[in-house]
Amino acid sequence: MNDISAPEQYDLQTAALKVPPHSIEAEQAVLGGLMLDNNAWERVLDQVSDGDFYRHDHRLIFRAIAKLADLNSPIDVVTLAEQLDKEGQTSQVGGLGYLGELAKNTPSVANIKAYAQIVRARATLRQLIGIATEIADSAFNPEGRTAEEILDEAERQIFQIAEARPKTGGPVSVNDLLTKAIDRIDTLFNTDNAITGLSTGYTDLDGMTSGLQPSDLIIVAGRPSMGKTTFAMNLVENAVLRSEKAVLVYSLEMPGESLIMRMLSSLGRIDQTKVRAGRLEDDDWPRLTSAVNLLNDRKLFIDDTAGISPSEMRARTRRLVREHGDVGLIMIDYLQLMQIPGSGGDNRTNEISEISRSLKALAKEFNCPVVALSQLNRSLEQRPNKRPINSDLRESGAIEQDADVIMFVYR
């Protein structure tokens, strides 16, 4: 008789019955250590949260400890029991006896950060299992979504876990910063080129900015038809030709093909109207061929997805970096066309503020200049002097606060 293999769905159900990853010992060591040494709170705070604990009673205890820490109250068995009693949760955590056991059985307060890292690692594994289950369910029941949409959602959820990881860094001593600053000054002193960032291709602009600097958010703003996109694509064109790194354009307003036609027109010195209409003269064809050769095999990537969100943009940029190496420049056309999922557009000012902060974070994460185009308020048309100022930036003052450089296109 032939063996009958169990269906794949059975394997998935069996896997779901497994006990999720956790370490009760590490959780107990963290809680006990916090009761023995109140100074340990600073070492644990940026490593774990109450949601990282597997056992419900441990979550309640950690929340009570956090409340005592916020009040600058001492944390020990007695004060913690008192706080839990106020919350009506003493019986849920095993009473004073269990708190005493936690403090008594803690292996070493000196290693509390390592214990917290174990708790966090197990929590991350549980999150991954939960998301994997959701992804599998979506794949079995797409409900009208395409495979690409499900893949994008899966990637977004995975990156959310990555973003929730404990932040590295912290206060750095002035001596360490001085060493880095002197090294930077020494490097610049020994460089003949006055441009320390990515050249814009405009001599006067490079003189004012020393080039587009890594981690900078550069806002290019103007009223419609002032030439924002043309100027920004000139920056892209120059970066593509001068940098070995990838250049990424998010075009929320214009199809990628149209942007490439603009670049071919610019590089070939051909009237843009001729290129759009396909009415090239005999002497235009060699210049067009030369422009094509200049762009061929360059690391230029254009994403013309409409209404993209900051999280989607970050996920797609990370994917590109994995496949093609570091990014030298990111250009976004334009900021007000981006969306925040689930916001409903009720408060557009808050949305734009969040988008602006996200773009600054994008520049820092990938250590490259981010050029974001922005619209201006219509109210500027009512002024006798229509030269734009910072307060004309549309829908949010946060753009002005988050930007490192603001440029206005005006004619």
Q: Is the pLDDT of residue 2 over 50?
A: no
Total number of domains constituting the chain: 2
- Residue 281, judged by CB atoms within 10 A of its CB (0-12, 13-18, 19+), counts as exposed
Q: Which of 92, 83, 21, 19 is nearest to 59 (CA)?
A: 92
Structural domain contains residue 229: yes
pLDDT-based confidence at residue 6 (cuts at 50, 70, 90)? very low
Residue 95 in tokens: 């009473």
Structural domain contains residue 326: yes
The per-residue pLDDT for range 160-175, each reduced to its tens digit, is 787 666 666 567 778 8
Mean pLDDT to the nearest integer, 183-188 = 78
* Percent of the chain topping pLDDT 90: 16
Structural domain contains residue 296: yes
The per-residue pLDDT for range 73-117, each reduced to its tens digit, is 899 999 999 999 998 898 898 888 898 898 888 888 889 999 999
pLDDT of 140 reads 92
Answer with the one of 163, 183, 209 that is the final residue of a domain.
163
- Taking a C-beta distance cutoff of 8 angstroms, is the pair 31, 58 a contact? yes
Same domain, 34 and 151: yes
pLDDT of 371 reads 92
Answer with the one of 146, 163, 180 that is the final residue of a domain.
163
Q: Is the pLDDT of residue 29 over 80?
A: yes
- Domain of residue 116 covers 24-163
Structural domain contains residue 318: yes
The per-residue pLDDT for range 65-77, each reduced to its tens digit, is 989 988 888 999 9
- Among left, alpha and beta (phi > 0; psi -120 to 50; other), residue 374 is beta
CATH number, domain of 116, equals 1.10.860.10
pLDDT of 344 reads 61
pTM score of the predicted model: 0.63
Structural domain contains residue 176: no
What average pLDDT does the structure give for the chain?
82
pLDDT of 223 reads 77
Q: Is the pLDDT of residue 3 over 60?
A: no
Same domain, 292 and 347: yes
